[in-house]
């Protein structure tokens, strides 16, 4: 597979300046959210129109269950010790790697693209990480809706267990993410496991208004993110992932940009959007809107929509640093609007999608794209509205409406 070589010599020349800014002034309480839009949070709290009341009820119902269960998550709860021997290190295995049928011990594992090995979520920290992020976000939203401290208390309890408590914290690295038994103890590919850390930042910032999240805890969380950011952009695994020309590279940029934004390093965010993300649009999207690197996989709809969702989230971050990704037109004619236009005809008619999709059709990512596009895109207005009706849930649970800007 061809690789997008990042950092380029030009990027490397600027790296010392960026490293010098690794300790910016940390965000204060009440600072701007990354992805959730303040007007949409107000809609969630007060609007009686459309699906807002049903979504409000769904958020509170899920948050109540989280508070009642009082469950927390930690990398130290994993029965499998990471290769480092340190139980505070994150560990996961590659999703498409299976025991070798031709060897007695099953090693080395072999790849079966698009076929998820259920072992992944039995021995990996990926699922607990994602569940922790989910629970914190719902607790934060419930606190925002009601002002009830019990929601914030559980959200902070989850954060402390994963990031701060001496007995259960995770060290700020992904050295052993997506390991492959018998082949490698960790890969750059595994960095995608943690891409929702940017979404978690919104939950943290909402909880910062509560009594449960102290100033000391907020500072400690941001320092963890700062240490992780330093690892992310300087570690070999991070550099490998940044060089990817497919959804993994976009996911890396999204993760790096959102983490940097959370710790107040907007110089890096601007630099990354201009020097990495903008060139990706030309390299990863054709003038037709097709995403060729995603269309050669076995789960093409999933990969195309996920990759485009990452681009659209990056466009949201661009609003905060005056980098306009939505209006960017690459020299080959590619744009985010064209990539969306390529997918739109199949949102309502998935049976017409002409490419392989070996797992269940999933509208999670396209919902997010449509929500962002409805506030940013000047094209496809009617098609976007129709597509949103097609993916509307009978019982609203998706938080996609919170992403709509303006």
What value does the mean pLDDT take over residues 167-176? 98
pLDDT digits (tens, 9 = 90+) for 292-332: 999 999 999 999 999 999 999 999 999 999 999 999 999 99
**Residue 377: what pLDDT?**
84
Task: Look over the chain and give the mean of its residue pLDDT values, rounded to a whole number.
Answer: 93
258, part of any domain: no
| Same domain (yes/no): 297, 185 | no
Give residue 18's pLDDT band: very low, low, confident or very high (50, 70, 90).
low
| Same domain (yes/no): 239, 344 | no
Of 243, 276, 295, the residue at which a domain comes to its end is 243
**Residue 15: what pLDDT?**
53
| Same domain (yes/no): 67, 151 | yes
What one-character-per-residue DSSP string does 17-51 give?
Answer: HHHHTSSPPPPPTTPPPSSS-HHHHHHHHH--STT
391, part of any domain: yes
**Residue 32: what pLDDT?**
85
**Residue 120: what pLDDT?**
85
**Residue 14: what pLDDT?**
52
**Residue 189: what pLDDT?**
96
**Residue 26: what pLDDT?**
54
Count of structural domains, the chain: 2
**Residue 7: what pLDDT?**
44
**Residue 5: what pLDDT?**
36
| Same domain (yes/no): 147, 126 | yes
390, part of any domain: yes
Map residue 58 onto helix, strand or coil: helix
| Same domain (yes/no): 3, 70 | no
Comparing 16 with 290, the larger pLDDT belongs to 290
d(CA 307, CA 284): 10
What value does the mean pLDDT take over residues 116-145? 95
| Same domain (yes/no): 57, 158 | yes
Contact in structure between 404 and 375 (CB atoms under 8 Å): yes
Nearest by Cα to 363 from 387, 395, 383 = 387
Give residue 203's pLDDT band: very low, low, confident or very high (50, 70, 90).
very high
Residue 21 has pLDDT above 70, yes or no: no
| Same domain (yes/no): 388, 276 | yes
pLDDT digits (tens, 9 = 90+) for 350-394: 999 999 999 999 999 999 999 999 999 878 999 999 999 999 999
H helices of 161-299, where? 197-207, 215-234, 236-242, 247-262, 266-272, 278-284, 292-295
| Same domain (yes/no): 92, 193 | yes
CATH code where residue 384 lies: 1.50.10.100
Nearest by Cα to 182 from 97, 265, 270 = 97
DSSP letter (8 states) at residue 274: I
Crossing angle of helices 149-159 and 52-69, rounded to 10°: 60
Comparing 13 with 75, the larger pLDDT belongs to 75
Nearest by Cα to 210 from 131, 137, 155 = 155
| Same domain (yes/no): 236, 218 | yes
Cα 405 to Cα 30, 295, 377, 401, distances in angstroms: 18, 29, 11, 9
| Same domain (yes/no): 19, 61 | no
**Residue 121: what pLDDT?**
84
Identify the domain containing residue 303 by its residue range.
1-23+265-406
**Residue 305: what pLDDT?**
98
248, part of any domain: no
Give residue 338's pLDDT band: very low, low, confident or very high (50, 70, 90).
very high
201, part of any domain: yes
| Same domain (yes/no): 50, 85 | yes
| Same domain (yes/no): 18, 45 | no
């Amino acid at each position: 597979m061809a690789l997008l070589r990042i950092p380029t010599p030009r990027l490397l020349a600027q790296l010392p300046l960026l490293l010098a800014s690794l300790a910016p002034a940390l965000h204060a309480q009440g600072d701007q959210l990354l992805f959730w839009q303040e007007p949409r949070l107000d809609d969630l709290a007060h609007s009686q129109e459309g699906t807002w009341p049903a979504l409000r009820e769904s958020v509170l119902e899920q948050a109540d269950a989280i508070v009642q269960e009082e469950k927390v998550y930690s990398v130290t709860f994993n029965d499998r010790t990471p290769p480092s021997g340190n139980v505070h290190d994150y560990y996961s295995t590659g999703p498409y790697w299976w025991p070798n049928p031709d060897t007695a011990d099953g090693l080395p594992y072999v790849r079966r693209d698009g076929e998820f090995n259920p072992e992944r979520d039995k021995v990996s920290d990926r699922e607990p990480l994602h569940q922790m992020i989910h629970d914190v976000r719902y607790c934060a939203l419930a606190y925002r809706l009601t002002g009830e401290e019990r929601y914030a208390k559980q959200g902070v309890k989850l954060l402390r267990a994963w990031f701060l408590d001496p007995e259960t914290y995770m060290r700020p690295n992904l050295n052993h993410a997506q390991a492959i038994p018998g082949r490698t103890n960790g890969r750059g590919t595994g960095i995608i496991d943690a891409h929702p850390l940017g979404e978690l930042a919104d939950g943290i910032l909402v909880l910062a208004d509560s009594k449960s999240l102290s100033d000391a805890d907020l500072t400690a969380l941001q320092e963890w993110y700062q240490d992780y950011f330093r690892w992310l952009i300087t570690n070999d695994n991070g550099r490998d992932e940044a060089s990817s020309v497919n959804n993994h590279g976009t996911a890396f940029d999204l993760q790096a940009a959102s983490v940097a934004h959370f710790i107040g390093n907007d110089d890096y965010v601007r630099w990354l959007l201009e020097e990495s993300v903008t060139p990706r649009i030309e390299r990863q999207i054709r003038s037709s809107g097709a995403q060729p690197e995603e269309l050669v996989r076995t789960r093409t709809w999933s990969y195309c929509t996920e990759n485009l969702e990452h681009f659209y989230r990056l466009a949201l971050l661009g609003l905060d640093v005056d980098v306009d990704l939505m209006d960017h037109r690459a020299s080959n004619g590619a744009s985010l609007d064209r990539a969306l236009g390529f997918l739109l005809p199949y949102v309502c008619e998935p049976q017409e999608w002409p490419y392989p999709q070996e797992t269940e059709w999933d509208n999670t990512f396209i919902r997010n794209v449509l929500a962002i596009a409805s506030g940013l895109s000047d094209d496809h207005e009617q098609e976007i509205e129709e597509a949103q009706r097609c993916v509307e849930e009978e019982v609203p649970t998706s938080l996609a409406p919170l992403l709509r800007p303006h």
